[in-house]
């Protein structure tokens, strides 16, 4: 058995989804924690410092490469699996069986597609200006100049449609996580009932708290809760 | 006990053979007792069709006691009909209301090609079992049953997994046509017992490979299989199968 065989069987493909999914879950924790600095009510000083650290220090930059690989692997594998699985039943049912499973468990590809659209717009809003096209800078004193990403957030989230799109995306993320979090652990083989109950509870909590924190960010800027 | 009779419409998938174009045909069935089993209702319909010179509806059935796993109808959008933990043969007509239209479809999956009407070819399951669902036993006298100590928890879980009758409802219910609940039950019941230990690693790898070869989809843990399984096989078995697969594929030579 080679590693290629291991990860290309039907179970192996799911392992790829699970491992990249758990990696992306960890990324969400880091992303949400750092972004929570916007609520420091200091005009974005701490937030911009944190963003500067993430953008200039070597470790997060290396992790960023891993992050991009993880995201693309998760997206491509997800679409391939969805198409493959759909092709396994050429003639469909007259009456579909919908009672045995949650709608969001059956809709991971649709929820994921909303998230992909979100990523493209989100990268365009923040990652592209920060890395490529450039953003206004903020002088924190003693010649310590950082990108004013706080200002970019303030500007971006004045548009109600952008805020609405971010909130809808956060709701999609919540449902994607509600299934994905516990499903990933089942796929990597956690079958002990004790752990399974614990993971399910953490998963649902995570699926509420993280998207809620993210959704509150554009809302906070739009309603001028943070200045 | 008084019997209620009902008149129903039965909308059945009719297909002459694997290659023919199938279609739904609706039949009226009158005077059905609510104490009848679902298959008895089908028998009445078929007797009438035969009397009228028509072609009876082909469907699989054998023991009619809920233990053989042969019956396989997808009734009103659920494998084995509306009741929980139940096979089609143990479904009774009191589950339906007078005047109701009952939609009956075959198991739908590329890996379960239709033989005729509601009968599908489930030999893919047999080939998965052949690939690794066996144990090594020494020749000679059978050993004493009590000579192998087995932890109670493992014995219970192995028995629960061994309840799988291989009917294929899990595949029929799954949006991916995945056979993982079936496979996980077969792998689990042997992996949990000392008798299954010699082939433990090769078994899971061979059976997963055969399942993929048969063209079943992959599991996305939606839980539809567990919800429809007539023997209530737990989805935790799928997690155990994944665990067995990960361990075996990492350590295999």
CB B117 within 8 A of CB B23: no
What gap in Å lies between CA B45 and CA B33, rounded to an integer?
13
DSSP state of B150: -
pLDDT band at B2 (very low <50, low <70, confident <90, very high): low
Task: List, as ranges, residues 105-124 from B with C-beta within 8 Å of A.
Answer: 105, 108-111
Could you tell me the sign of the dihedral formed by the alpha carbons of B90, B95, B101, B107, in that order? negative
Alpha helices in B15-151 (DSSP H): 38-51, 123-132
Give me the pLDDT at residue B1, please.
54
Among A1, A185, A186, whose Cβ lies nearest the Cβ of B249? A1
Nearest residue in A to B201, CA atom? A1
pLDDT digits (tens, 9 = 90+) for A136-194: 888 888 788 899 999 999 999 999 999 999 999 999 999 999 999 999 999 999 988 88
B74 three-state secondary structure: strand
Q: Give this complex's ipTM.
A: 0.91
Q: Look at chain A and count its residues.
A: 227
* Cα–Cα distance, A198 to A173 (Å, whole number): 21
Q: How far off is chain A from B162, nearest CA to CA, in Å?
A: 17
Question: Under a CB-based contact definition with an 8 Å cutoff, are residues B150 and B194 in contact?
Answer: yes
This model's pTM is above 0.80: yes
Q: Is B236 near chain A, with CB under 8 Å?
A: yes
Q: Please tell me which of the candidates A12, A89, A182 has its beta carbon nearest to residue B110.
A: A89
Averaged pLDDT for residues B95-101: 96
Q: Is the pLDDT of residue A221 over 70?
A: yes
Residues 70-109 of chain A whose Cβ lies under 8 A from any Cβ of chain B: 81, 84-102, 105-106, 108
With contacts defined as CB-CB under 8 Å, which chain A residues touch B25? none
User: Strand B74-75 relative to strand B119-120: parallel, antiparallel, unpaired?
Assistant: unpaired
- How close is the nearest chain B Cα to the Cα of A7, in Å? 9
Cβ of B216 within 8 Å of Cβ of A10? The answer is yes
Contact flag B242-A186 (C-beta cutoff 8 Å): yes
Mean pLDDT in chain B?
Answer: 95
Q: Which of A87, A97, A183 has the CB atom closest to B220's CB atom? A: A183
Hey, is the C-beta of B101 within 8 angstroms of any chain A C-beta? no
Give tens-digit pLDDT for B190-235: 999 999 999 999 999 999 999 999 999 999 999 999 999 999 999 9
- Using one digit for the tens of pLDDT, what is the confidence trace for B148-186? 899 999 999 999 999 999 999 999 999 999 999 999 999
Give backbone dihedrals phi and psi of B120, rounded to 5 degrees, phi first: -120, 155
Residue B77 is nearest to which of A9, A87, A97, comparing CB atoms? A97
**Residues B29/B10, Cβ–Cβ less than 8 Å:** yes
Q: Note the pLDDT of residue A194.
A: 87
B142: pLDDT confidence band, cut at 50, 70 and 90? confident
Q: Is the pLDDT of residue B147 over 90?
A: no
Please tell me if residue A9 touches chain B, with a CB cutoff of 8 Å: yes
Which among A11, A15, A80 is the top mutation candidate for probing chain B, defined by the most B β-carbons within 10 Å of its own β-carbon? A11
Distance CA A89, CA A190 (A): 29
- For chain A, give the percent of residues with pLDDT over 90: 80
Q: Is B60 on the interface with A (CB under 8 A)?
A: no
Q: What is the predicted pLDDT for the residue at A80?
A: 96
Domains and CATH numbers, chain B: 5-115 (3.10.20.30), 123-139+148-251 (1.10.1060.10)
**Cα–Cα distance, A127 to A132 (Å, whole number):** 8
Residue B53 φ/ψ, nearest 5 degrees: 85, 15
Within 13 A of B192's CA, how many CA atoms are on the CB side?
22
Cα-flanking dihedrals φ and ψ of residue B14, to 5°? -110, 130
Contact between B190 and B135 (Cβ < 8 Å):
yes
Nearest in space to B155 (alpha carbons), one of B186, B212, B193 = B193
Chain A contact set for B218 (CB, 8 A): 10-11, 13-14, 81, 84-85
Choose the mutation target among A90, A96, A187, A190 for the interface with B, i.e. most B CBs under 10 Å: A187
Mean pLDDT of B98-114: 97
Of residues A12, A92, A97, nearest to B173 (C-beta): A97
d(CA A215, CA B242): 35
How confident is the model over A111-122, as a mean pLDDT?
97
């Amino acid at each position: 058995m080679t590693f290629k065989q291991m990860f290309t069987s039907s179970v192996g493909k799911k392992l790829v989804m699970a491992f990249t999914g758990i990696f992306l879950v960890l990324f969400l924790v880091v992303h949400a924690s750092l972004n929570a600095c916007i609520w420091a009510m200091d005009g974005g000083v701490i937030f911009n410092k944190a963003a500067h650290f993430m953008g200039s220090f070597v470790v997060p930059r290396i992790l960023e490469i891993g992050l991009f690989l993880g995201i693309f692997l998760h997206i491509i594998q997800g679409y391939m699996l969805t198409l493959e699985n759909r092709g396994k039943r050429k003639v469909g049912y007259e009456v579909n069986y919908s009672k045995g499973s949650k709608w969001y468990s059956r809709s991971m590809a649709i929820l994921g597609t909303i998230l992909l659209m979100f990523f493209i717009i989100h990268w365009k809003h923040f990652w592209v200006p920060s890395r490529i096209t450039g953003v206004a800078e903020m002088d924190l004193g003693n010649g310590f100049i950082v990108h004013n990403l706080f200002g970019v957030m303030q500007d971006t989230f004045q548009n109600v449609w952008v805020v609405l799109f971010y909130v809808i995306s956060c709701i999609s993320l919540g449902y994607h996580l509600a299934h994905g979090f516990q499903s990933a652990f089942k796929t990597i083989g956690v079958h002990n009932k004790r752990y399974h109950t614990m993971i399910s509870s953490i998963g649902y909590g995570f699926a509420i708290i993280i998207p809620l924190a993210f959704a509150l960010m554009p809302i906070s800027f739009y309603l001028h809760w943070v200045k | 006990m008084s019997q209620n009779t009902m008149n129903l419409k039965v909308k059945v998938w009719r297909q002459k053979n694997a290659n023919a174009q199938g279609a739904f045909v609706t039949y009226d069935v009158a005077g059905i007792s609510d104490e009848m089993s679902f298959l008895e209702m089908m028998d009445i319909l078929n007797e009438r069709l035969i009397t009228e010179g028509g072609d009876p509806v082909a469907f699989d059935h054998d023991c009619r006691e809920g233990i053989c796993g042969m019956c396989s109808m997808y009734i009103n959008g659920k494998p084995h009909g509306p009741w929980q933990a139940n096979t089609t043969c143990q479904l009774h007509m009191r589950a339906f209301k007078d005047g109701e239209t009952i939609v009956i479809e075959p198991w739908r999956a590329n890996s379960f090609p239709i033989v005729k009407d509601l009968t599908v070819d489930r030999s893919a399951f047999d080939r998965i079992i052949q690939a690794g669902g066996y144990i090594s036993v020494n020749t000679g006298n059978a050993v004493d049953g009590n000579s192998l100590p087995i932890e109670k928890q493992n014995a219970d879980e192995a028995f629960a997994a061994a309840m799988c009758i291989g009917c294929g409802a899990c595949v029929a219910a799954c949006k991916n046509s995945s056979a993982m609940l079936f496979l996980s039950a077969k792998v689990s019941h042997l992996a949990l017992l000392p008798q299954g230990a010699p082939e433990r690693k090769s078994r899971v790898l061979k059976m997963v490979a055969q399942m993929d070869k048969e063209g079943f989809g992959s599991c996305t843990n939606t839980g539809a299989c567990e919800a429809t399984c007539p023997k209530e096989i737990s989805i935790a078995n799928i997690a155990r199968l994944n665990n067995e697969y990960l361990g075996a594929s990492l350590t295999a030579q």
